[in-house]
Amino acid sequence: MTVPIIIGVDLGATNIEAAAVRDGEILKSKKKKTRPEKGIEAVLDRIEKTIRTVFEKMDAEASDFSAICIGAPGAVEEETGIVRSAPNLGWDNVPLGEALHDRFGIPVMVDNDVNVGVVGEHVHGAGKGALDMIGIFVGTGIGGGLIIDGAPHHGWRGAAGEIGHVIVKPHGRTCGCGRDGCVEAYASKTAMEAIIHEEMEKGRETEVFEIMEDKGKKKLTSSVIEASLEAEDLLMEEVLQNAQYYLGILTANLVNVLDPEIIVYGGGVVERLGESFLKPIERTARQHYLQRRGAEQIRIVPAELGDDAGPVGAAVVAQRRLRASVG
Amino acid sequence: MTVPIIIGVDLGATNIEAAAVRDGEILKSKKKKTRPEKGIEAVLDRIEKTIRTVFEKMDAEASDFSAICIGAPGAVEEETGIVRSAPNLGWDNVPLGEALHDRFGIPVMVDNDVNVGVVGEHVHGAGKGALDMIGIFVGTGIGGGLIIDGAPHHGWRGAAGEIGHVIVKPHGRTCGCGRDGCVEAYASKTAMEAIIHEEMEKGRETEVFEIMEDKGKKKLTSSVIEASLEAEDLLMEEVLQNAQYYLGILTANLVNVLDPEIIVYGGGVVERLGESFLKPIERTARQHYLQRRGAEQIRIVPAELGDDAGPVGAAVVAQRRLRASVG
């Protein structure tokens, strides 16, 4: 039996990345802007075009691939391929799986983007070989996924891994979800930008917004954070330390509850800042979880696959589901 | 094949309970005081006596039983039957499994008492039929256990389920573990008593310590809490509400991370106060976890087996291990 080649797709609010993947290796890939503001049909067209470009690069057609698997940024109903809710795309109840199946005629699987990325890091990235792993992705929001006894843990309703909404400070800052004190309200890029803005309004000095303008960015990106730290912006340093502190508390709590072998941190901020971002998180975490039975051996490491975690993980998810359906 | 009869034992800091269990049903049982202050050998003798009394009640001898399984209050190495650390007994590295095997000559299994109780509630109690369950026990400390995909989740080091040390208030009260802000530092009986004491020293009025004395108790027991609430002691009410609030935050965080079908609350306080203790926890929890995909269907319920959860769960653990070892 030959190893199947699968089209793995990562659908983000900013970019679509599609790749032909064989056994964790990306053979060819293509990235396009998502442009969700143009509407659902336009996004579906852009996904199709991105995939067809990969076909061309492979000198192949749809029937040469075993399946398409796409990770979408929101709540997904895996059985039907419907994206129930993807706030960053402005999507509600979009039959993404069906739409792509109509366009390509081969099996299409849909899953949550973070779940898929965590599977990618587990099978082919930083978590290789671990039975119990937690993936934490720091970006515009904070996402996560759990690998328990070697398999993704989806939970009773398929809603497990909502670690961005773990409350780390009761009665704390209001989060985008409407609740107070979620870790996402301190440590996401969106939150860090809002906190810097609030502090500036209170009279604190900062160069962050000038740096943002100089770089032609409309929001606090990972590169703006990096440049602000290089400029030794005290407010940026303080806000980042605060974010790291609460991520450390989150990490400690997850260790005490789940006892994982490895915690993999990914997402734009981690990729940009690397170990210097993780070290303070690790320090706080180790101060706050129980030091028993080899606790010092728990690893807290950066993700290895970067943007490829999505397509590579999607290909793994597709292979597993193909196997499960053939019997 | 006949259903095996197993001796399930719950070894607590206060009591030893042993029972002959067949398929979740307690046939005969015996309870004795533990008296850990008399030393390890004395406790081992008391365990032996408790078990031998059950033998007598059953008109049977050791060889009539398939195994003895004992839940111990601390860190247990299941493979060797060694109790690595049980602070409430003052035990370090006690070869409990070997000691009992020497005395009875039948297979002996040792596990953590909370894990065993959670298994009991899952298989024969409030969690029957659930694939994903969290057990939370509120007593002198706060213990917990996770059932994931139908089986206990022990974690990489066998240290999962340390939910008493989930930090619910960074920089909060100092916990017995030495860290600050653990839920156990607010919601265990030990913590509640300490908080009432602190507040009294600051000049707050309370009848709690008089009630304790009237009842001949040396510490804040569940019955003292109940009597203090009946006496409408405002400080007791406030401290209990605070405990319930943090247990609610803990519960919400566990729901967001694990997405369980059911959360089972057990332990002395829950048994004594029942639904009136759980309702405020449930209210806070529901306010603090994401309301998506049927979140309203998650059940938060009291344990059903009471003190029997230990022996009954121990019998389940024994049956599973017997099966695993026979092949």
* C-beta separation of B172 from B179 below 8 A: no
**How far apart, in Å, are the Cα atoms of A204 and each of A20, A146, A211, A283, B4?**
49, 39, 16, 28, 72
User: CB–CB of A293 and B256 under 8 A?
Assistant: no
Tens of pLDDT, residues A131-187? 999 999 999 889 999 999 999 999 998 889 999 999 999 999 999 999 999 999 999
Residues of chain B with CATH 3.30.420.40: 6-118+307-326, 129-304
Report the C-alpha gap between A115 and A266 in whole angstroms: 12
Hey, what CATH class is B6-118+307-326 in?
alpha beta
| pLDDT at residue number B326 | 59
**How far apart, in Å, are the Cα atoms of B170 and each of A167, B181, B183?**
11, 5, 10
User: CB–CB of B75 and A294 under 8 A?
Assistant: no
pLDDT at B327 over 70: no
**How far apart, in Å, are the Cα atoms of A19 and each of A2, A244, B106, B110?**
19, 33, 59, 50
User: CB–CB of B165 and A256 under 8 A?
Assistant: yes
> Which pTM was predicted?
0.93
Write down the CATH number for the domain with range B129-304.
3.30.420.40
User: CB–CB of B162 and A254 under 8 A?
Assistant: no
C-alpha distance from A184 to closest chain B C-alpha (Å): 13
Nearest alpha-carbon partner for B6 in B120, B116, B108, B128? B108
Tokens matching residue B36:
């850990």
Average pLDDT, chain B: 95
Element (H, E) at B97: helix B96-104
Residues of chain A with CATH 3.30.420.40: 6-118+307-326, 130-304
Closest partner CB to B254 (pick from A131, A157, A257): A257
Report the C-alpha gap between A326 and B9 in whole angstroms: 46
C-alpha distance from A282 to closest chain B C-alpha (Å): 16
Tens of pLDDT, residues B206-248? 999 999 999 999 999 999 999 999 999 999 999 999 999 999 9
Between A146-155, A299-308, B182-191, B316-325, the lowest mean confidence (pLDDT) is in B316-325
Report the C-alpha gap between B124 and A147 in whole angstroms: 28
ipTM for the assembly? 0.92
- Nearest Cα residue in chain A from B133: A156
At the fourth CATH level, which superfamily is domain A130-304? ATPase, nucleotide binding domain (3.30.420.40)
